Structure 1
Amino acid sequence: MVQNPREEMNNKTMNRYQWFVIGICVLLNVIDGFDVLVMAFTASSVSAEWGLTGAQLGALLSAGLFGMGAGSLFLAPWADKIGRRPLILLCLLISGVSMIAASLVQNATQLGIMRFITGLGIGGILASSNVIASEYASLRWRSLAVSLQSTGYAIGATIGGMIAIALISHFGWRSVFLAGGLTTMLMLVVAYFTLPESLDYLLVKQPKNALDRINHLCQRIGLTRIPQLPEVIHNTAQPKIGIAKLFTAGLGLQTIFLWLSFFFVMFGFYFVMSWTPKILSANGMSTEQGVTAGVLISAGGMFGAALIGLISARVRVFYVQAGFLALTAILILLFVNNVGALTIAFILAVFLGVLSNGCVAGLYAMSPSIYEADVRATGVGSAIGFGRIGGILSPLIAGAFLDGGISSLTLYGYYAGAFVLAIMTVLSLSKLQNKHAAQLNFQSSTVSS
């Protein structure tokens, strides 16, 4: 019987090469964090130049998220067909070119189109890099690996915010998009020469030269070389395709609750991240102070994503996620009641970033464990895509409320409720996964006996 390298890697100590691959995934997410939130950082300047209403600005903020949702739903599943690496390279090219093009637009419509195209690329990158980080980690450190990968988003947003402040004041908002596009193209070159294909993909799909590629990776990871490819058991029944696979083999309810968890968290998260600089500027802070608060939230996120990963190495990630969600809802209410005190608001912004970004990292850590390798990118991508629907609706609804006269600070209290709803879906998902795992173990023991 051929030893399965995946099983061996699950139980071995992580080596330098595995952490290196995870580090590349972190860098991919750094680029994504900058590209996603560049619209939030430039919102005040873009709005001032073109005289946009709250609804128009909300549409621009949602355009990138809409593209990310489409990318996660329609591009990410191709990672299960052509491989994680080729899809990431293609999506980097899409994001880089559209970011550069965004620096040349002449009106809000053109900018919205470019933001949508950028989002397409980012959606494919996020799902695929998340899966690679998960698949290169051992079982014990998988939650930490995926959470560390998620810190890249916060790092990119933080660096992007600081760069945006400097660039806008000297060269205008277009320079921020140009800088993001050029950096994304640089990352395309880095990924081309350093990012390997997923070992799980090679084992399950077995493309051309799969055995040589697997053994090359085994050597780098420190696994036993295999003399032949492991047998892949194919289902002889009529196979489900695409997203339909996520509703077979007892996965239907888990998929639905995972989607809802992403929806509620993204709904609350993207309101906090997208509107905070603009809303604070409209409530007494200067544009620079509003952007600074947004940067502090992103900076806190670097620690939040790592923190939830470290805790999840010892405590079941679903329970850690529920705790983070509850604390986030509480902190949003504290933050909204202290925006008049600049120092306190900035301190609370850091902690809000720790918790809210930790919630997103927790989602990414939870999702790969639900699906097998042949549908993992599809499962994670669809969950992220469904979450983007919440992210898309969030700025649009906020913009409509603001145009309708609702107090901008009151909105924070409403959006805290999204994190409360997410607690219920996460705990329900945890129960379903426990039940599903118990059924699989029973079936396995029955067959072996």
Structure 2
Amino acid sequence: MKEMAMEGNEASRRRKAIAWIVGIAMVGLMFDGYDLVVYGTVVSTFLRDPTQIGAVDPALAGLLGSYALAGVLVGALVSGAIGDMVGRRRMMITAYAWFSLGMLLTAFTRETGAFGVCRFFTGLGVGALLGTTAAMVSEYAPPGRKNFYNAITYAGVPLGSLTAAGLAILLLDHIGWRGMFMIGALPFVTLLPLSFFKMPESVAWLVSRGRLDEARAIAAQTGIELPAQHAMHAVEEPGASGYRGLFADFLLPTLLIGLMSGTGLILVYSLNTWLPELMLRAGFNAKGSLSFLLVLNGGAVLGPLIAARFADTIGPRVVVAACFLIGTAAILALTLHLPLALLLCIVAFAGVGTSGTQTLIYGLAANYFPTRVRGAAVAWCAGFGRLGGIGGPLIGGLLIAAGLSIQAILLVLAGLALIGAALAMVIPASRHAN
């Protein structure tokens, strides 16, 4: 009976620790999603009102949208270079403080140059967070459910996007674009102190660095079991860590996952930046066009939670490819003249096949590689992929500025989704996930 009680207490501690880690990580990513969409909710204001930050045309709007993504690229890649050395917890806490400050500074800018600099600064923190979160969650999630727990965590991105779109509909006319960016600074006084007290370091990471005493202490606090091969002795994983080990030992899958992530993020950022403007040009009013963002990101929340169950069973590569194909079909269907209700349903499926697919890609990257290079792998996926994120707003802006029809723009995006499916299918099967 005593042993059963001890096992029950350990299981309770484990559930509580995982709940805190996943909950904090998901809320943190909600603000990444908020940052993703908040610019899309205010870009039409900038295009039509030069008194805000100066004159902005579609090409400049696309460029401004890309500054934050350039920051994400740099922040994610830098976090990958040092995250496997300094730890998951330290990187995540630093990221929360960094991007909160960036959002606050952005709210006080008055010209396009300063706006762009502040968006880049914010992106550095967002990138560091994206480059670390999946690694932390994967190292605490129970075996056989790692993709599912990552899907729950990364559902925070579209939830944050939903929040941004919803708040824009309700509050933009009252608080203006500056108020929208001030909301993005809330983690500084909420999430940051909570994570400091409630988020432990990764046990698996501590073990991989040979810091077994610290790993045992946290394992005792959280109920997380030490890896069996390290239970008695501190033995570091063989092979180099960080980017050196990633590119030396896993070059082909690393390149393919990076290209796939970049393709997915072109779709994510193109649609989240330009969908409201496209819908305005299609004849919908301002609030009606923002509602498409709500539906797009609603699909991105629910779809991956279902798809992740299959990913844990049959493997994430096939599921990612299938979701890209869903995105292809949905974007193609948007070129048709359809009733509004059906159009909204299709937009939801487009959310599954774009932002939802990206959620699964992060889970694939986190679970494909061993602990010694996992942080670098997730950072590479988030960082290199942001080349596509940078290109998304730019491509959308250039296509609109070139006078292409809405149908032609959507055909381009559907072709990119098809390329993403092909890349997913040629990634070699993993023999190293843990």
What TM-score results when the alignment is normalised by the length of structure 2? 0.90
Distance 1:290 1:205, change over 3 A: same
Map of 1:61 onto structure 2: 65
Q: Is the 8 A contact 1:25 1:129 kept in 2?
A: yes
The aligned counterpart of 2:75 is 71
Which position in structure 2 is the counterpart of 1:172? 176
Query: Aligned residue for 2:112?
Result: 108
Q: In structure 2, what is the Cα distance between the partners aligned to 1:343 and 1:180?
A: 32
Query: Of 421, 424, 429, which aligns to 2:422?
Result: 424
Question: Which residue pairs with 2:269 in the alignment?
Answer: 270
Return closer, same or farther for 1:260/1:232 CA change in 2, 3 Å cut-off: same
Q: Distance in 1 between matches of 2:195 and 2:149?
A: 18
Partner residue in 1 for 2:44: 44
1 CA distance for matches of 2:169 and 2:344? Answer: 17
Q: CA deviation at 1:228?
A: 5.1
* Distance in 2, Cα, partners of 1:379 & 1:185: 30
Looking at structure 1, the residues matched to 341 and 285 of structure 2 have their Cα atoms a distance apart, in angstroms, of 14
Distance in 1 (CA, whole Å) between partners of 2:226 and 2:371 is: 20
> Could you give the per-residue CA deviations for residues 11-64 of structure 1, whole angstroms, max 9, x where no partner exists?
xx9734323322221111112111222111111112222241110110111111
Residue in 2 aligned with 1:20? Answer: 20
Residue of 131, 134, 137 corresponding to 1:130: 134
CA apart distance, 1:233: 5.3
5+ long unaligned stretches in structure 1: 1-12, 442-449
User: Deviation at 1:351?
Assistant: 2.4
Conserved? CA contact 2:104–2:182, under 8 Å = yes
Residue identity in the other structure for 1:269 = V
Q: Which among 374, 377, 382 is matched to residue 379 of structure 1?
A: 377
Q: Is the 8 A contact 1:37 1:274 kept in 2?
A: yes
RMSD over equivalenced CA pairs, Å: 2.3
Among 200, 207, 223, the residue aligned to 2:204: 200
* SS of equivalent to 1:336: coil
Which residues in structure 2 correspond to 1:353-372 (within 5 Å)?
Answer: 353-372=351-370
Q: How far apart are residue 206 of structure 1 and its match?
A: 3.7
In structure 1, what residue type is equivalent to 2:84?
A: D
Equivalent residues of 2:147, 2:311 under 8 A apart: yes
For the 8 Å contact 1:304–1:357, the answer to whether it is kept is no
- In structure 2, relative to structure 1, the CA distance for the partners of 1:166 and 1:217 (3 Å cut) is same
Distance 2:87 2:14 in 1: 23
CA distance in 2, matches of 1:163, 1:265: 26
Residue 83 (structure 1) aligned with residue 87 (structure 2): yes
User: Residues 31-430 of structure 1 correspond to what in structure 2 (within 5 A)?
Assistant: 31-50=31-50, 51-207=55-211, 210-223=212-225, 229-232=233-236, 242-249=242-249, 251-338=250-337, 341-429=339-427
Aligned partner of 1:46: which letter? F
Asked if structure 2 preserves the Cα contact closer than 8 Å seen for 1:328 and 1:356, the reply is yes
Q: Which residue matches 2:8?
A: none
CA contact (8 A) 1:95 1:122 kept: yes
How big is each residue's C-alpha offset from its partner over 1:377-414, in whole Å with a ceiling of 9 and x where there is no partner?
A: 11110121111101111211221121111113320111
- What's 2:10 paired with? none
Q: Is the 8 A contact 1:14 1:138 kept in 2?
A: no
Q: How far does the alpha carbon of each residue in 1:402-433 deviate from its partner, in whole angstroms, 9 at most, with x for none?
A: 1111113320111111111111211110xx23
Contact 2:58 2:397 in 1 (8 A): yes
The answer to whether the 8 Å contact 1:203/1:229 transfers is: no
Flag the 1:185–1:343 CA change in 2: closer, same or farther, 3 A.
same
Amino acid paired to 1:82: V
Measured against aligned partners, the alpha-carbon deviations of 1:93-113 in whole angstroms (never above 9, x if no partner) come to 110111011110001221111
**C-alpha distance in 2, partners of 1:24/1:35?**
17
For 1:149 and 1:336, the matched residues in 2 are separated by 32
- Taking the aligned partners of 1:288 and 1:401, their CA distance within structure 2 comes to 24
> SS at 1:314's partner residue?
helix
Give, as a single letter, the amino acid of the residue that structure 2 aligns with 1:45: T
- Aligned 8 A contact 2:72 2:125 in 1: yes
> Moved runs in structure 1, 4+ residues, more than 4 A?
224-229
Cα 1:183–1:329 change in 2 (3 A) is same
**CA apart distance, 1:227:** 7.4
1:18–1:221 CA contact under 8 A, matched in 2: no
8 A Cα contact 2:141 2:149, kept in partner: yes
Larger mean CA deviation between 366-375 and 81-90 belongs to 366-375
- Which SS does the other structure have where 1:173 is aligned? helix
219 and 97 in structure 1: CA distance in 2 versus 1, 3 angstrom threshold: closer
Distance 1:192 1:49 in 2: 41
Identical aligned pairs, as a percentage?
22
CA distance in 2, matches of 1:281, 1:71: 33
Range moving further from structure 2, 258-267 or 342-351: 342-351
Structure 2, unmatched stretches of 5+, are 1-12
* Structure 1 position 184, deviation (Å): 4.7
Structure 2 match to 1:433: 429
> Cα 1:212–1:367, aligned 2, differ >3 Å: closer, same or farther?
closer
- Which residue is equivalent to 1:9? none
| Higher mean C-alpha displacement, 226-235 vs 70-79 | 226-235
In structure 2, what residue type is equivalent to 1:215? A
How far apart in 2 are the matches of 1:336 and 1:141? 37
What do the CA deviations read for 1:80-129 (whole angstroms, capped 9, x no partner)? 11111111111111101110111100012211111111111001101211
Deviation at 1:195, TM superposition (A): 1.2
CA offsets, 1:183-213, max 9 Å, x none? Answer: 4542112211111111111111245xx5145
Change (3 A) 1:174 1:224: closer
CA displacement at 1:222 relative to structure 2: 4.9
